[in-house]
Structure 1
Amino acid sequence: MSLLFAGDAMQHLPQVYSAKTENGYNYDACFHLIKDNIASADIACVNFETVLGGKPYTGYPTFSSPDEFASALKNAGFDIFFLANNHAMDGGQKGLERTINVLDSLQIKHTGTFKSPHERTFRYPLMLIKNGIRIALLNYTYKTNGIPVKKPSMVNFADTFLIKKDLEIARLYKPDIIIANMHWGEEYLTYPTTEQRKMAQFLINNGVRIVVGHHPHVVQPVSVYQKENEPANVVYYSLGNFISNQQHPHADGGMMAEIVIHKTSDEAPVEIQSHTYSFIWVRKYRDEEKTNYVLIPTTFSPKAITPPVSKEEKETMEKFVEHAEKTVRKTVP
C-alpha cells in the first residue's frame, strides 16, 4: 500500500480572492500539476488547516474558507483530512460542526475533531482497510489558539494520558499498523523542539510505527528507527506548508511524505518498504486580473509550465529545495 501525506493546506484571504469566479470559487488550477502525484497513492492525506465556517470568508488569524477548497482537495486526490490543529476552533462550535457536516456531505473521511463524545467513540480512531492492510489513524493538536472547545464538541489534544487510552482502544481493532498525525512544535523552526522529540519517542514506545508532523510551516528532519537493519519507525517532524500565502523564509513550500508498507501474508507483520519524500513549491504569479497560486513539484521541468517560470522564480524555488534538503537530512537524537 502506498501512503502520501501532505502538509498544511491553508487559505489566506489573497488565496480566497484568487479563487473567486462569477459562480463561486474554483481552486482546481492550484493543484493541476501535482494531481497525478496525489491520485497515484492508495491513500492520500492532508492537514486541513482551516474551517468551513461559511460566509463571510476570513483569513489569518481566524480562518473560514469556501467549501470549494475542500472539494478541490478531494478532486486533487486526497482521501483523508486531518482536522486537529490550532485553527480547528476558528469558527467556534458552529464552524467546527459545519466543517464536519460539509466534509461528510462531500464523502471525505476526516478525523481529529468531533461534534460530540458519542461521535468520537463511534468514529475514532479512524480505521482504514486497503489492500488487505488494516490502518489505525490518530490525530492530535497541542492547542486551539486559546479558543475554548464548548461541549459537546471535541478536539483531540496531545495529552499523553488520552493518547495512551486511545492507543489501547486502537489495538482492540487489531490494526496492522498505527499512524499518528501530530500538530506540534514551534512555527518557523526548522529543527524539532524537545517536546516534539519526547512526544515522538512516547508514540513509538507505545506502538506507533509512523509519525507525521505539522504546524511549524517549514520542513523539519525525518528520523528513521532501525530494527534488524530494517526501518521499524519513521518520524516526519514537519512537512511544512502544502499551500498558503505565507511570506516567511522557507515557508513558501513543503514536502510530501511518500511511504510504502506491505505484508507478505495475512499473519505477517506490516513492513515499511520505503519512506521517501518529494518537495513542492507554491508559485505566486500575477496576471492582468489577480495573483495566482500554483503548486509545482520541484522535479517538474520549468519549461513545461505555462506561463513560463521566470529566472527569478526558478532561483527562488531552487533555493527553497536546497535549504529543505539540508534540513530534512539533519540528525535528530
Structure 2
Amino acid sequence: MGNNSKKITLAATGDVLLHDRVYKKAKKRGESGYDFSELMNEARPLFEKGDLKIVNQESIIGGVELGLSNYPNFNSPVEIGYLLKEYGVDIVNLANNHILDKGEKGILKSIDNWNEIGLPYVGAYNSLEDQQTLRIFNKNGLRVCFLSYTKRMAGMKIPKGKEYLVDSFEGATVTKIAKFIRSLKAKGLSDVIVVSIHYGKEYHMLPTADQKEITATISDAGADVILGHHPHVLQPPEYIFNSRGTESFAIYSLGNFFSGQKGIYRQIGGYLTIDIEKPSDESPLLKIGKPTMQLTYVDSTDDKTFKLHLLKDVVAEREIIKTHMGDFESQQVYDKITNHLKKWIPEFDVT
C-alpha cells in the first residue's frame, strides 16, 4: 500500500428470511419475546471480519404488534434486528419482493423498529426525504455509498404517489439507475459505490442473461461492488471489466444466510468479504480483490433445529447430511459448492 492509500474490507451476507418454523424455535420459554442468539451463535465470529458489513434482511421486522407471519407474507420479530446490531452490522438492505408483505403500514413499522434499534437501512424508506438521503459511510478515509433496488415486487403495487417507499425498477428503468450512479460519480460524493440488487430466478444456481445484462449496465455506470439477491442459492461472483476501463466485483446471488427454506443448496449460505483499496488520492481507480467466503449451513431438514453452522464443521461432524430430498454425502456437497463458486474467479478463497 502507498503512503496515502486507503483500504476497507467490505462484508456481506445473503437473506435473513424468518419462516414461522424458525422464529418458533427462537420463542422464549415461559415469557414473551424471541431470542435468536442461540440459533445464530456460530455466525458471531464471522462478523468480526470486515470494516463495513451489510446484511440482506428479506423479511420485514414489524414485530408482534403487526402479527408475526410466514410465507407468502412475512413479518418477523424485531429481536433479529437487535442481534444483527449486536453482531456489528452497519447497514441492512431492505429492497426485495417481500418488502410490501404488510403494505405501507408494514414498511413504516419496520423502519420505526430499525430506527429504534439504531441500525441504518437502504432500499425502503418512510418519506421522500429519507429516500433522497444518501447512505454514505466514512471508513478508513474512504467514503462508501450504499444503494439498493429490487426488480421483483411479488405482484405488490407501491401506493400511488408514495413511490419513495421502495427503490424498485422494471425492465428499461435500469437505465434510470445507471443515470443516477453516473451522476453520483460525477458529483464526487463517494469513493466507492456498493449496489444491492434483487433480481434473477429463484433456485437457479447460475445467473440469468437478464441478471448479467443489468449487472453489466450498472458496472458500466460506475458501481464498484454489486451484491445480488433473490435466487435463495449461492451464485458465483465475477469481475466485470467495463467500457470505463475499470473493474467491478459482482456476486450474482448471496443466497440464504439464515432461513427456514429446505433444499440442500438453499440451506447453504456464506459470509463474503472483499478488499477495496484506493491506492492514492490522485488515482480515482480502485483496486478490488481478495474475495473470501466462509460457508454456512442451516439445519432445516436434518435435525430441524434451524441452527446455523459453519459448513466445514458440518462436514467434519457428519458423513451424511439428511434432507427431505434424500441423503447427501457432506464432503461431496462441500466440494461441489466450492467448485461452483470458483467458476469465474478460480482464486476465490472459499472455506
Task: Specify the code of the residue in structure 2 equivalent to 1:11.
Answer: L
Structure 1 residue aligned with 2:4? none
Please tell me whether residue 163 in structure 1 is matched to residue 193 in structure 2. Answer: no
Structure 2 residue aligned with 1:46? 55
Structure 1 residue aligned with 2:27? 20
Percent identity of paired positions between Structure 1 and Structure 2: 28
Task: Specify the code of the residue in structure 1 equivalent to 2:282.
Answer: E
Moved more, 217-226 or 137-146: 217-226
Q: Out of 94, 105, 113, which is 2:124 matched to? A: 113
Q: Secondary structure at the match of 1:102?
A: helix
The residue correspondences of 1:283-302 to structure 2 (distance < 5 A) are: 283-284=299-300, 291-300=304-313
Structure 2 residue aligned with 1:146? 155
Task: Specify the code of the residue in structure 2 equivalent to 1:276.
Answer: T
How many residue pairs were aligned?
320
The residue correspondences of 1:68-217 to structure 2 (distance < 5 A) are: 68-121=79-132, 123-124=133-134, 126-150=135-159, 151-152=161-162, 153-158=164-169, 159-171=173-185, 172-217=187-232
In the superposition, relative to structure 1, how do residues 103 and 238 fare at CA in structure 2: closer, same or farther (>3 Å)? Answer: same
Whether the aligned pair in 1 keeps the contact of 2:60 and 2:98 (CA below 8 Å) is: yes
C-alpha RMSD of matched pairs (Å): 2.4
Task: Specify the code of the residue in structure 2 equivalent to 1:9.
Answer: V
Once the two structures are superposed, residues 270-320 of structure 1 have per-residue CA deviations (whole angstroms, 9 ceiling, x without a partner) of: 311422222111124888xxx4222222244777xxxxx444349654344
Once the two structures are superposed, residues 36-61 of structure 1 have per-residue CA deviations (whole angstroms, 9 ceiling, x without a partner) of: 21122111111100012233210111
Alpha-carbon distance in structure 2 between the residues aligned to 1:9 and 1:187: 16
Structure 2 residue aligned with 1:312? 320
Structure 2 residue aligned with 1:10? 17
Q: Secondary structure at the match of 1:36?
A: helix
Alpha-carbon distance in structure 2 between the residues aligned to 1:312 and 1:164: 46
Whether the aligned pair in 2 keeps the contact of 1:80 and 1:110 (CA below 8 Å) is: yes
Alpha-carbon distance in structure 1 between the residues aligned to 2:142 and 2:16: 27
Alpha-carbon distance in structure 1 between the residues aligned to 2:247 and 2:236: 17
Runs of 4+ off more than 6 Å: none
Q: How far apart are 1:327 and its partner, in Å?
A: 2.1
Whether the aligned pair in 1 keeps the contact of 2:262 and 2:300 (CA below 8 Å) is: no
Alpha-carbon distance in structure 1 between the residues aligned to 2:51 and 2:337: 26
TM-score (norm. length: structure 2): 0.84
Alpha-carbon distance in structure 1 between the residues aligned to 2:253 and 2:116: 30
The residue correspondences of 1:264-283 to structure 2 (distance < 5 A) are: 264-269=279-284, 270-283=286-299
Q: Secondary structure at the match of 2:147?
A: strand
Whether the aligned pair in 2 keeps the contact of 1:212 and 1:237 (CA below 8 Å) is: yes
Moved more, 132-141 or 144-153: 144-153
Task: Name stretches of at least 5 consecutive residues in structure 2 with no aligned partner.
Answer: 1-7, 323-327, 346-351
Structure 1 residue aligned with 2:266? 251
Structure 2 residue aligned with 1:306? none
Alpha-carbon distance in structure 2 between the residues aligned to 1:165 and 1:236: 22
Structure 1 residue aligned with 2:348? none
Q: Secondary structure at the match of 1:199?
A: helix
Whether the aligned pair in 2 keeps the contact of 1:231 and 1:272 (CA below 8 Å) is: no
Task: Specify the code of the residue in structure 1 equivalent to 2:49.
Answer: S
TM-score (norm. length: structure 1): 0.88
Task: Name stretches of at least 5 consecutive residues in structure 1 with no aligned partner.
Answer: 304-308
In the superposition, relative to structure 1, how do residues 73 and 317 fare at CA in structure 2: closer, same or farther (>3 Å)? Answer: farther
Moved more, 312-321 or 180-189: 312-321
Whether the aligned pair in 1 keeps the contact of 2:178 and 2:217 (CA below 8 Å) is: no
In the superposition, relative to structure 1, how do residues 283 and 2 fare at CA in structure 2: closer, same or farther (>3 Å)? Answer: same
Task: Specify the code of the residue in structure 2 equivalent to 1:193.
Answer: T
Please tell me whether residue 235 in structure 1 is matched to residue 257 in structure 2. Answer: no
